[in-house]
Structure 1
Amino acid sequence: MTTRDTSTAGILFILIGMTAISLNDVLIKQLSGGYPLHQLVFTRSFLGLFISFIFLHMEGGWSLLKTSTPGLHLLRALMVVLSNMSFFAAIAVLPLAETTALFFAAPLMITLLSILILGEKVGPMRLSAVLIGFIGVLIMQRPWQSLGDTDANRLVLLLPIIAALTYAINQVMTRKLGVSSKASAMAIYIQCTFIIVSAGFFLVAGDGRFAQGVENGAVVFLLRAWEWPPAGDWPFMFGLGFLSAIVGYCLGQAYRVSSAATVAPFEYIGLPLAVIWGFFIFGELPDLAVSFGIILIMGAGLFVFLRERMLARRITRPTNMLR
């Protein structure tokens, strides 16, 4: 393959992966009113695991699962699980576009963490972009409003920030330790971790006793009792599993066949998709403050990516986001 061919393939994979992520978020939000989060995570990961095994077979078979750094893979997977579950708990309550935009603060956090943890030098232009992006995050938190005037609890507004931070820690850790595995193997490691964590939630809180008397929608979504899905919901459940496998594989492949500097900016297709799905499916439209915050975060993140590309520096590889 020529460089141009691999770049095109990488862009195609990232576009498919980000579209799958946005559709996955839609299904999670759609089902959040009747099922607990840990049940949806267990179901999609269990189903997605089988599809991931097909990808594993295509890439070389069972031997690819062997690794010399199992502890690192476990730690990375736990960071992804915490990131995803924080994000999913948020979209049950917050508008899809707003939650997605706040999560896209992750590249800005990666830039700051790379200074603190990796000792990388970041110039004033990128630091200024990071500052502008965080101003966008602050605007979307609406600090000028009283608690009674906000549509969501302040803690719920922090959930996408927690998701972004844990995701950023995962990526900086990956850069520091230089993990190298096939995309299918890494997807399987994370799918298995999702299954174990969500099964643990079921054993502790699967009967819904901790959700009784709770008013916070995000907490109820996390802790309500398991429900056996009616026939009409099973296509959505299978859709979650299929999309989960597609996300894990396509994002991994995108960063394997092409440079991060080429494909990373295309991740931002997730933001306009979130606005589109939010409007047409859930009737949500960002207000002026949220729209301004989205523009600042998106603009700052793209600037950081493009500036990294100009300086021929390595950009973090956001593989296995697995939302």
Structure 2
Amino acid sequence: MGQNRPMAGIVTRLGAMLSLAVMFAFVKLAGEQGVHVTESLFYRQLTAMPLICFLIMRSQHGWPSIVSNKHKLHILRSTLGIFAMGLNFWAMTLLPLADATTISFTVPIFATLFAAIFLREKVGIRRWTAILIGFVGVLIVVQPGGSLIPAFGAAVALGGALVTAAVTMVIRMLGRTETSVVTIFWFSVYTLPALTVCAFIYGGGHDAKTWAYLLGIGIFGALGQLGVTQSLRYAPVSTIVPMDYTSLIWATFFGIVIFGQFPGLSIWLGAPIIIGSGLFIAWREHVRASKLTVAKAEPSA
């Protein structure tokens, strides 16, 4: 199935963002019931595993497709990935949903910065400008020294964005030879044993409501993961990435309706700046990729 169904890709991505927003709402609800972050992570990964196995069986090459010679990178991706997911889950329990979601939008800013520093990718003046503007948005949201947002929660959220940006670099390296489903499979394989131990240590008996929250984390996390993966089969990244920012709409809605948390003025001022920076970086990445494709095709033209 080629990337020739943009509307299907957009709709699928929108559904994925809604699913992930619901998952984070359940993460926050579970946290309020005293559920440890590692237990939420365990059920998130455990529920996703059957879905991943189903996708592998449905793939063209089936189970032989999971064979990989990049296990060092898979282990690195899994280590960084579980820390990133843990910090992001933790941030959702410490901050209002809209605040934590807004700070998470700094991932493309950090990813571009890391690519320039560690992968030696050429970053032009336009993207550097977008990075600087994005950080201005972060300062508006976080307001160091005078913010209504808890400093510790903001630090956890920024830490989650930083580690997630590092994960994107490793995934880009894996993407040269591995499919997204294979990468997700090994992520689950390498993280579930440690999470099982953590769930045994920190988990415990829960009432029916709390178990429903944990089930919701697993189901909507798996649906969101499936939607994100499937959307990439329908349309190019440049077409669907802007849909990711709709998660702020859902985070704001759930924050108000479920938790009675209204976004402060700093969110209304800073979020558009961060989102605009991320969209511009995504657009420049698309332009850069298009130029590279044309350059590679010219010698054989």
Q: TM-score range by the shorter chain?
A: 0.7 to 0.9
Give the counterpart of 1:190 among 183, 187, 190: 187
The equivalent residue for 2:172 is 175
Measure, in 2, the Cα distance between the counterparts of 1:289 and 1:180: 42
| Paired letter, 2:157 | P
Measure, in 2, the Cα distance between the counterparts of 1:33 and 1:109: 30
> TM-score scaled by structure 2?
0.87
Bigger shift: residues 32-41 or 22-31: 32-41
Percent of paired sites with the same residue: 26
Measure, in 1, the Cα distance between the counterparts of 2:81 and 2:28: 19
Tell whether the 8 Å contact from 2:42 to 2:199 is kept in structure 1 after alignment. no
Measure, in 1, the Cα distance between the counterparts of 2:221 and 2:184: 9
Shift of 1:9: 2.9
The equivalent residue for 2:223 is 246
Provide Cα deviations, 1:267-307, integer angstroms capped at 9, x if missing partner.
11112221111111111111111221112111111121123
Cα separation, partners in 2 of 1:182 and 1:125, compared to 1, 3 Å: closer
Cα separation, partners in 2 of 1:4 and 1:184, compared to 1, 3 Å: closer
Match runs of 1:128-207 below 5 Å:
128-145=129-146, 150=148, 152=150, 154-176=151-173, 178-202=175-199, 206=201
Measure, in 2, the Cα distance between the counterparts of 1:194 and 1:105: 25
The equivalent residue for 1:213 is none
Measure, in 1, the Cα distance between the counterparts of 2:36 and 2:220: 19
Shift of 1:26: 0.5
What SS does the corresponding residue of 2:177 show, helix, strand or coil? coil
Measure, in 1, the Cα distance between the counterparts of 2:72 and 2:260: 44
Tell whether the 8 Å contact from 1:107 to 1:301 is kept in structure 2 after alignment. yes
Provide Cα deviations, 1:174-210, integer angstroms capped at 9, x if missing partner.
334544333333222222333223234346xx2xxxx
Cα separation, partners in 2 of 1:120 and 1:171, compared to 1, 3 Å: same
| Paired letter, 2:115 | S
Measure, in 2, the Cα distance between the counterparts of 1:16 and 1:233: 25
Shift of 1:97: 0.6
Match runs of 1:121-132 below 5 Å:
121-132=122-133
The equivalent residue for 2:271 is 294
Tell whether the 8 Å contact from 1:14 to 1:263 is kept in structure 2 after alignment. yes
Measure, in 2, the Cα distance between the counterparts of 1:314 and 1:19: 33
Compare the two structures and name the one with the higher helix fraction: 2
| Paired letter, 1:111 | T
Give the aligned CA root-mean-square deviation in angstroms. 2.3
What SS does the corresponding residue of 2:50 show, helix, strand or coil? helix
Measure, in 2, the Cα distance between the counterparts of 1:235 and 1:17: 20
Match runs of 1:202-281 below 5 Å:
202=199, 206=201, 225-281=202-258
Provide Cα deviations, 1:130-158, integer angstroms capped at 9, x if missing partner.
1111111122222242xxx7452x23211
Give the unaligned 5+ runs of structure 2.
293-301
The equivalent residue for 1:97 is 98
Measure, in 1, the Cα distance between the counterparts of 2:13 and 2:177: 19
Matched, 1:58 2:55: no
| Paired letter, 1:173 | V
> TM-score scaled by structure 1?
0.82
Tell whether the 8 Å contact from 1:106 to 1:164 is kept in structure 2 after alignment. yes
Measure, in 2, the Cα distance between the counterparts of 1:314 and 1:187: 30
Measure, in 2, the Cα distance between the counterparts of 1:164 and 1:286: 20
Matched, 1:308 2:285: yes
The equivalent residue for 2:19 is 20
Tell whether the 8 Å contact from 1:48 to 1:243 is kept in structure 2 after alignment. no
Bigger shift: residues 51-60 or 264-273: 51-60
Tell whether the 8 Å contact from 1:14 to 1:251 is kept in structure 2 after alignment. yes
Measure, in 2, the Cα distance between the counterparts of 1:27 and 1:232: 11
Measure, in 1, the Cα distance between the counterparts of 2:4 and 2:56: 26
Shift of 1:255: 2.3
| Paired letter, 1:237 | L
Paired residue total? 290
Measure, in 1, the Cα distance between the counterparts of 2:24 and 2:78: 19
Tell whether the 8 Å contact from 2:29 to 2:213 is kept in structure 1 after alignment. no
Bigger shift: residues 127-136 or 117-126: 117-126
Cα separation, partners in 2 of 1:102 and 1:255, compared to 1, 3 Å: same
Measure, in 2, the Cα distance between the counterparts of 1:181 and 1:2: 17
The equivalent residue for 1:284 is 261
